[in-house]
Structure 1
Amino acid sequence: MKQSRHLETELPGPKARRLMQRQQAVVARGVSTLMPTFAVRAEDGIVEDVDGNRLIDLAAGIAVTSVGASAPKVVESVQRQVAEFTHTCFMVTPYEGYVAVAEKLAEITPISGPVRSALFNSGAEAVENAVKIARSFTGRQAVAAFDHAYHGRTSLTMSLTAKSMPYKHSFGPFSPEVHRVAGSYPFRDELDGHTAAERAIDQLRTQIGPENLAAVIMEPIQGEGGFIVPAPGFLKEVVHWCRENGVVFIADEVQTGFARTGRWFASEYEEIEPDIITTAKGIAGGMPLSAVTGREDIMNAAHPGGLGGTYGGNPVACAAALSSMETIDEQGLDQAALRIEELVRERLEEVQRSDPRVGDIRGRGAMLAFELVDPATKAPDAALTSAVASAARQSGVITLTCGTYGNVIRLLPPLTISHDLLIEGLGVITDALAEA
């Protein structure tokens, strides 16, 4: 399809308005949508809607379609697998695709020694199972997460998630034995990695106690919390403390995994070796799949039959995952992510030099964000952020916000986006900022 932005109608167009009426009549109010239109097809950096509008995609379905929303190898493998069989349930009649995905994960995951994997459907489901495995392995119950964390929307993962609205508000009570400690937010806490780690470890030691703690979980780059990259050395010290005290360290790489940051996993930048890594989103080119991958002794702690699910490791999703990972390798999409970072940083830093409302620019690879603030006080400016994102969407650029304070614009383009589209989409956003 044509890789150019084009607005055939205003947004929403007439067909989209009719679909909105149908949506409002049958879809639960809690399932809200951001873009004022409906997609009909997508490829690389463009999503086309029902009215013929072509939108620049700077979201990739929240970091899912990293290889593009219709990557040829993924499409071919899915079509082939669907024609053979769609489901048998791996726990009933197993199939090679599940094993092949686990083999590939063992090859690329930055954990030394033998590793094992279990496959599921969503990132939240992977996190839930990682906690189950850690509790089984350690015989302990407590789990610690960090300020600004996001780990999912199920009962347990909602408890691990920090932000109340819209994720936790009115949905309690929450799971017990979940604790929260301070993390590292260099732009706001102004602490170096060592000092921030000392603070976190002191809370882990005194408020929970290592003898009670099964697992510590953290995103190497906190996603929904604002694309927060911890200060250098922070994660390394936390992981070292976990190892000394027999606490399982879980790296939640659901959003950061599969070349999104310029490497297979963001943990590699931090020079850490997690005990368990949870993945989803970019693993399967848009098909629902997630994984828990970890040290063999930890992963084997769960008894036979203790892990699984009817659809976990679905054969169609496994076929898509194998082709998606092959595409990342063949097209060098890790390097593409680094080129995206170079282009985006250069443009954002240029804007920041003349606009003090851009308080911070951060992230890695094709997972970048900028935080909007009151330049006099550094207070978060959520209203400005919302206005900029809304204006960009109306101009045909799919734009996401994030952050505990709602004042961060995040950029998650497909790794296959053209540089021209990327620069144009970014220009629409920065023009909206200038006009706001």
Structure 2
Amino acid sequence: MVDPEQLLRRLHPLQMKGGLVLSLSVTFQYLGQWDVFGFVFVASVVRFTANGLLARFGVQRWGPSVTEWIRLGVNAGTLVAIGLWAGWSLLLWIYVPFILLWLHGLDRWGWVRAVLLMAVMDGAALWSGCDPYQPLAFSIIGVLGFLLSAKRAELLQQTLEEVIARREQLARAQDQLRVMHERALQQEKLSSLGMMAAGVAHEINNPMAFVTSNVSSLYKELQLQPVLAEPLKEYVDEVLPETLDGIKRVNAIVSDLRHFARGDPEIPAEYDLNAEAQTALRLAHRELSHCEVQVALGEVGTVVGRPRQIGQALLNLLVNAGQATPPGGTVRLSTRREGEEVRVEIRDTGTGMSPETRRRLFEPFFTTKPPGKGMGLGLAVAHGIVTAQGGHIEVESELGKGSCFTLRLPRVAFSASASLREERGQRGASA
């Protein structure tokens, strides 16, 4: 919507030019009738000057609405005076549609001013004995022009709103396209990182096999020796056992990376939930190194499902807990069996979450981390994995008091039981 003051400022040059042309036309039609010419000339100069001064100073002093009421009084007064003194010529009546078109769209009082102008001029003309068809004809032209302008302005406004709406839709589509492009790049990066991790793990695995074999052989041979020098005893008692323990940790990490980076579809199978939890803990070690990690793994028995996916969900939740927990805080991982369900609880003493954050917690790409620190996929992926296997995630959190994510998984996932039944049916058909 255009501001009335700006509208007046933009239309003022056209209004002044049109008024000047009409004033000159009305004035010069009385050439030779010098008394009438002089009166019309003075009235036109007064009206033209008053309109210029109102446009220049009136809007700033009184505002557009009051200025237009004053302008209406000046124009109506001078036109009625000219009509009563010089007669109601056809050129004088052209002012009616001209002023009505000028009044349209200025403010909500425009139509009131238009009706008042026609009433004053038509009443004065009829009172002075003017041919009634003249005011009637030009009043009809003025009203039609006013209404057509109103309708055209309404249609233009609707068109403008549609254009703005389409531009906004286009802008939103461009934003979505940009976000999707960024997501595709991030997904490509993640895929490349997964393949790289699998390749690195594979390359490390071969030399580590030689290291493990050689160190184990050396340790066994030194143990078999009846007499050892004092420095070698220290190697047998401390150095080599600790070295083998470190080698086992490296091999475990390599095995976990190969297991985690595999991209082939996972077939439901029996697995040890506690072993997957320990694997996730090892992979999340870097994100948990600044806080105390408490582990309480209960007896949960055998679970049927997709172990690699569950391991990924646990890893995502542990990394999230580590990132939310300040140095010196605590992250606690516990498991236990509850009837036909297994319960995994990951509790931290971190920053916690607001109710608004909890409501959007599992939305893909929603994150409270600064740019470059996270994509907002970890919790969404974990939620999708757990629900796909017939489980659900419960979240308890309070700002400043930490969070607790509780996974409740069926001991036999629905999709897994369906796959097992299908496999058994195929075996029976083959038999």
TM-score category of the 2 structures, normalised to the smaller one: under 0.3
Higher relative contact order (CA 8 A, sep 6+): 1
Structure with greater strand share of residues: 1
TM-score by length of 1: 0.18
Structure with greater helix share of residues: 2
User: Of the two, which has the highest radius of gyration?
Assistant: 2
